[in-house]
Structure 1
């Protein structure tokens, strides 16, 4: 398919019978005056040709206060990714950077499509939270000479380290709290971390948290799910129906499944935390007003954000640090500590 040639300023000037300078004066309302009669001719020519200014070219010609960064996240509906977006946008704006956001839906093709579109319009850097095809995105940005910061986790190997929390230690903390503080001995992990189990979801982070869980709860098991709330509810319900002795502790691999797991346990006639104590990850502050608050291992969003932007902002660029950032456990009601 051959696309029609985009009309130029010269095309409009010819149609109106005037100069390109006069057309420019009409478009920009100055700096020189244009008679009403000539302005009418120019406006008519603009309409007839459906002329639209090339905004990218205009931006290249004028001095810029605002620069631009691209931000890719896998699911804006999830509180963790929403928290990253909010913090990055605030920090970037404070440094005269506007943020262009793409929601990839854990789809490698969409991630690459957004990265290509963002580099085409001239972003000054790209932050990818939870990359699902890091090698392809890295190669595209390398060709475009756009610096990239990888945040939270990454599917596929690149030369640059991922800026994120210590998810293995997070799994240990969540499990150790149940074992040491509450004496739980039948602890299970809810989540999926293989490609067969999880098509769209953060299975890399769950795999790391499961490693930490396994280092503490060596003789207990896992309830496999696809990382959706409905999948977690169904899997936990089936486990409780079929196992002769229910677990006394549950570690939920993602925050998106936590409420479903609590509901599955209580629908089975068990009490939380009376019969089953539950810990999870990345609880959002708004969850403090839910019916029962989650004991959660959280990551320092502000610190991760500052480190990521430090790789991209002119005059403030730092070397990427490979060490994961420490996490903390915040006690809630699902384990029995608060409330």
Structure 2
């Protein structure tokens, strides 16, 4: 037979209302002795509050959804874990899905999250311009992560992608490489457009021309491998001696491509990327990367979403976070001390 709040109240010698105040931390104060008796009774009886009933009374499920392109990309995986940790700390259940970078999968997941009546959604869309009008019409607050399309009516949380690329590219070019090239993500995505702009700005500052056009591939190890192979299979006099890579996932594939072609990193090809994932840090050579602070992104994203849930009519906010360079060996710093 299920233990009820009334059972806890009888065991603790208090009213059911006092039990409620203890479990919900309010709205009325409870004496220290009464709180201690209630907590002991909860422990003794193994009482578990009926979360669903509480949610129905509050017209809240205390659950949020998160949807992203894939869980293999180390940055997305680490961000998802950080969001789950932050949601747990705020007494929120996280429902999670991946879209495999497919628009139809994204639509299916969005409908499923609506059916599950989550209170709000964190979305890393695989689309250039995600259509969230259906979510808005259904009254589901949405915060876009990682990618912040210009003019978005949804709140957004992302790093300064142009600034991150500029920082990464400046460091790469400071090693004196003369034939740099770029491996970028899918065309049209706002983060990719901004990172490409940062790369171009760094080239201009260094007085270098973009001799080899950037290669665009998905944010994956396979994508980085394919793009790097195309760039590095050029004749030696045309082959890039440095690669700016737009993500750690692609950088892992690019390092493999260098190995497959008999090229050494960083001696033959220097490399920097963006993300700063643990996967890149523990590679050989370790990857020099501009670090996205996933814990801070998760904190701001969850806080922004919960604020939207509480105040759905408030104007959208657009949070832009900084990112810092973390030196590894792939650029040459760990090998030659430059």
Between the aligned partners of 2:287 and 2:139, the Cα distance in structure 1 is 43
Structure 1 match to 2:172: 178
Q: 1:260 deviation in Å?
A: 2.1
Q: TM-score w.r.t. structure 2 length? A: 0.73
| TM-superposition CA deviations, 1:20-43 (whole Å, max 9, x none) | xxxxxx9x7999xxxxxxxxxxxx
The aligned residue for residue 18 of structure 2 is none
Determine whether 1:153 maps to 2:139.
no
Counterpart of 2:197 in structure 1 is 211
Pick one of 298, 301, 304 that aligns with 2:297. Answer: 304
Mapped contact 2:145–2:157 kept (Cα < 8 A)? yes
1:191–1:226 CA contact under 8 A, matched in 2: yes
Name 1:291's counterpart in structure 2.
Answer: 284
- 1:223 and 1:216 map into 2 onto residues whose CA distance is 14
Deviations 1:95-152 (A, max 9, x none): 111011111122222222222221222211111123527552x212212212111111
Q: Structure 2 vs 1, CA of residues 57 and 289 (structure 1 numbering), >3 Å: closer, same or farther?
A: closer
RMSD over aligned Cα, in angstroms? 3.2
Match of 1:86 in 2: 81
* 1:296 aligned counterpart, secondary structure: strand
Closer/same/farther in 2, CA of residues 29 and 245 from structure 1, 3 Å limit: closer
- Bigger relative contact order, structure 1 or 2 (CA pairs below 8 A, ≥6 apart): 2
Check whether the contact 1:186–1:248 (CA below 8 A) recurs between aligned residues: yes
Q: Report deviation, 1:159.
A: 1.1
Deviations 1:27-80 (A, max 9, x none): x7999xxxxxxxxxxxxxxxxxxxxxxx99967656799711111111011111
| Cα displacement (A) at 1:320 | 4.9
Is the aligned partner of 1:233 residue 2:225?
A: yes
Q: TM-score, normalised by structure 1?
A: 0.72
**Post-superposition CA distance 1:297-328 (Å, at most 9, x none):** 11122222222112232698686543521111
For the Cα contact (< 8 Å) 1:170–1:327, is it kept in 2? yes
For residue 92 of structure 1, give the secondary structure of its aligned residue in structure 2: helix
Paired residues in the alignment total 281
Distance of 1:71 and 1:144 partners within structure 2: 17
For structure 2, the residue ranges without an aligned partner over 5 or more in a row are 6-49
1:281 aligned to which of 274, 281, 298: 274
